[in-house]
A and B are shown apart, each in its own frame.
Chain A
């Protein structure tokens, strides 16, 4: 009520001022709100219009930056939540109970280890301009990474925000690999392997795809423009393929596949998978690096693909085994999320449904049939989910990407060009194929070298009696469940 009165008075004052010739009565002035009175009085002394417009523009830019930055900080936190507790719970539930803590600790340790490495040199190797394959050392110790934006990457947020957002990706990527060697790798060997892997595989791949001048960068001078919105090649192919190499190199768990090794708590895995689903909104929609409509589009695509993935996996399982399992449902949602990751900022909701469904069907086949046929022990299916899902997603991105969602390619006059195959750019499928091939080769070669080095230095596997005892006690001196006490 009071607001309406003062609003009416403002309107009245404005009317009076615009008439100009009418003198403002003294008693009316005292009744005016402070702002209206001062502006009407200050009007003759206000700066010239150009200055006011400049000030207004700055204020608009600041408001936009605040909005974008708020979303990006929330997204960064969401992506961290995917590793801990999301992935830790997802993987922790899938192992036997004697290994639950050790499995969760591997994810947590990477939250710690990769953060320190990132601050020292990791960020620089990924995002400072360098050569086609690796960034320079200009951001060593985060020198020069402060409140000012780097317009090449994200013009409206502090570079420090961009840095910490990217850090969360560098954390979860190696954490995904831990699913392959779960229940048998030494903690010390895991830590050393991951530190080296981060430098030799993740940093180069992230630079090639997302860094300035990287070989596969789509907008910043890459020679083979590859589309990877949120990390299909950088995150999921590298982790999934490296996971397969780890599983093959380390060999099977004792007793596999004869001894039963069912998940000790699908309940934990369920909670973890649902946290992953929510966190993935930060992962994919956050990769828009702004809080605008592209973020919404990626959010929607992400959600739809997760649902379609869960549907695809569950239906195949239902038809084959007669029952739709909970673990199948959540695994399907995760592969739907994996597959949409590279495509999320380039495709519409209907394409997202197709991508998710395809991933659900194919990854179920990979995990339930292909793994059994080849007999490798990828304990928690890091390859079947992330390697296969990431490859399917990266390829389908080249088919379904459209300028209607994200006009990323433009000609000299600024007109939007076709993006994916269905959009009229058949060449993009070939580029995606090259991106996938680079990610596969780098992951295989890099991982093999690192495994060989770590194996020589400290050995990869725990001794047999420790594996039998469980890694919780043998590696950490604890047990996950002390229910009798």
Chain B
């Protein structure tokens, strides 16, 4: 089992979600987040006062997937989320030791 933590542009979310559904990903957790990497923010001007907005809105998708889906999922995300511009986001992969379904206490990949 691997956990995929993916940060993407909000405008790409629907495409990423569809691409993941196509390869058979059944669950995900999504949050609205703000942050920045190497991408610089933008400035806003209110009555002559400039404000630098360096934390930009992004979407974070968290998924824990069985090993056989991981490569396909990463490919799907890379394809769907890419605009080619700075600020497209990142995918982080990490190992997951255990997963437990709360309802019936199933464990491991069966719980996903």
Q: What is the interface of chain A, defined by CB distance below 8 A to chain B?
A: 257, 260, 262-263, 266, 317, 321, 323, 325, 327-328, 331, 364, 367-369, 371-372, 381
Instruction: State which of B47-55, B61-69, B75-83 sits at the interface with chain A.
Output: B47-55
Q: Which residue of the partner chain, among A321, A371, A372, A381, contacts B45 with CB atoms under 8 Å?
A: A321
Question: Do A262 and B47 touch (CB < 8 A)?
Answer: no
Name the B residues within 8 Å of A369 (CB-CB).
Answer: 48
Q: Is the CB of B51 within 8 A of A368?
A: no
Q: Is the CB of B46 within 8 A of A263?
A: yes
Q: Of the candidates B44, B47, B52, which one forms a contact with A368 in the assembled complex, judged by CB atoms under 8 Å apart?
A: B47
Identify A367's interface contact among B47, B51, B52, CB under 8 A. Answer: B47
On B, residues with C-beta under 8 Å from A are: 44-49, 51-52
A325, B49: Cβ atoms under 8 Å? no
Docked-complex contact B47 and A331, CB < 8 angstroms: yes
Beyond the given pairs A317-B48, A327-B47, A331-B47, 20 more chain A to chain B contacts, judged by CB atoms under 8 angstroms and listed by A's residue number, are A260-B51, A262-B44, A262-B46, A262-B49, A262-B51, A263-B46, A266-B46, A317-B45, A323-B45, A325-B45, A325-B46, A327-B46, A328-B47, A367-B48, A368-B48, A368-B49, A369-B48, A371-B48, A372-B49, A381-B47
Q: What are 17 A-B residue pairs whose CB atoms fall within 8 Å in the complex?
A: A257-B49, A262-B46, A262-B49, A263-B46, A266-B46, A317-B45, A321-B45, A325-B45, A325-B46, A327-B46, A331-B47, A367-B47, A368-B47, A368-B48, A369-B48, A371-B48, A372-B48
Please, how many angstroms separate the alpha-carbon atoms of A331 and B46 in the complex?
Answer: 11
Please report whether the interface of chain A is mostly helix, strand, loop or mixed according to DSSP.
helix
In angstroms, Cα B48 to Cα A317, docked, is 8
Residues of A within 8 A of B48 (CB): 317, 364, 367-369, 371-372
Please give, as numbers and ranges, the residues of chain A lying within 8 Å of B51 by CB-CB distance.
260, 262
Cβ of A182 to closest chain B Cβ, rounded Å: 14
- The interface residues of chain B lying within 8 Å CB-to-CB of A263 are 46
User: Which among B45, B46, B47, B51 has the greatest number of chain A C-beta atoms within 10 A?
Assistant: B47
Q: How far is the CA of A323 from the CA of B50 in the complex (A)?
A: 13
Q: How far is the CA of A369 from the CA of B45 in the complex (A)?
A: 13
| Residue numbers in A under 8 Å from B49 (CB-CB) | 257, 262, 368, 372
Cβ-closest chain B residue relative to A328: B47
Residues of chain A within 8 A (CB-CB) of B47 are 327-328, 331, 367-368, 381
Give A263 to B51 CA distance when docked, in angstroms: 11
Shortest C-beta distance, A32 to chain B (Å), equals 72
Give the nearest-CB partner of A263 in chain B: B46
By a CB distance below 8 angstroms, the chain A residues around B45 are 317, 321, 323, 325
B46 / chain A contacts, CB cutoff of 8 Å = 262-263, 266, 325, 327
Shortest CB–CB separation between residue B56 and chain A, in angstroms? 15
Q: Which 6 A-B pairs have the closest CB atoms?
A: A368-B48, A260-B51, A367-B47, A262-B51, A321-B45, A262-B46
Set of chain A residues within 8 Å of B52, measured between Cβ atoms: 260
The residue of chain A having its C-beta at the shortest distance from the C-beta of B44 within the complex is A262
Q: B residues within 8 A CB of A321?
A: 45
Q: Which of B44, B48, B51, B52 has the most CB of A within 10 A?
A: B48
By beta carbon, the residue of chain A nearest B48 is A368
Q: How far is the CA of A372 from the CA of B49 in the complex (A)?
A: 8
- The distance from the CB of A319 to the nearest CB of chain B, in whole angstroms, is 13
Complex-state Cα separation, A145 to B58, whole angstroms: 63
- CA separation between A131 and B11, bound complex, in Å? 69
- Chain B residues, CB < 8 A from A266: 46
Please name the residue on chain B nearest to A323 by beta carbon: B45
Least CB distance, A329 to chain B, in whole angstroms = 12
- Point out the residues of chain A lying under 8 angstroms from B44, CB to CB: 262
Per the bound structure, the CA–CA distance linking A367 and B46 in Å amounts to 10
CB distance from B55 to the nearest CB of A (A): 11
Nearest chain B CB to A162 CB, angstrom units: 37
CA distance A328 to B49 in the complex (A): 11
In the bound assembly, the distance between CA atoms of A321 and B50 in angstroms comes to: 10
CB distance from A358 to the nearest CB of B (A): 18
Closest to A327 in B: B46
Determine the residue in chain B with the shortest Cβ distance to A365.
B48
- List, in ascending order, chain B residues with CB within 8 A of A260's CB: 51-52
Give the residue among B44, B46, B49, B52 with the most A Cβ atoms within 10 A.
B46
Docked Cα-Cα span, A339 to B48, in Å, equals: 21
The CA of A367 and the CA of B48, in the complex, are separated in Å by 7
Task: Identify the closest chain B residue to A381 (Cβ).
Answer: B47
Distance from B89 Cβ to chain A, minimum over Cβ atoms (Å): 25
CA A321 to CA B85, docked complex, whole Å: 25
Give Cα distance in the complex from A141 to B29, angstroms. 66
- Closest CB-CB distance, A362 to chain B, in whole Å? 14
Nearest CB in chain A to that of B47: its residue: A367
Q: Separation in Å of the A261 CB from the closest CB of chain B?
A: 8
**A372 CA to B45 CA in the complex, in Å?**
13
Nearest CB in chain B: distance from A382 CB, A: 12
In the bound assembly, the distance between CA atoms of A419 and B110 in angstroms comes to 91
Give the residues in chain B near A323, CB-CB below 8 Å.
45
Chain B residues whose C-beta falls within 8 Å of the C-beta of A317 in the assembled complex = 45, 48
Q: How far is the CB of B44 from chain A (nearest CB, A)?
A: 6
- Name the residue on A nearest B45 (C-beta): A321
Q: Determine the chain B residues whose CB is within 8 A of the CB of A327 once the complex forms.
A: 46-47
Question: Which partner residue on chain B sits nearest A316 by CB separation?
Answer: B48
B109 smallest CB distance to A (angstroms)? 35
Give the residue among A262, A266, A323 with the most B Cβ atoms within 10 A: A262
Q: How far is the CB of A291 from chain B (nearest CB, A)?
A: 37
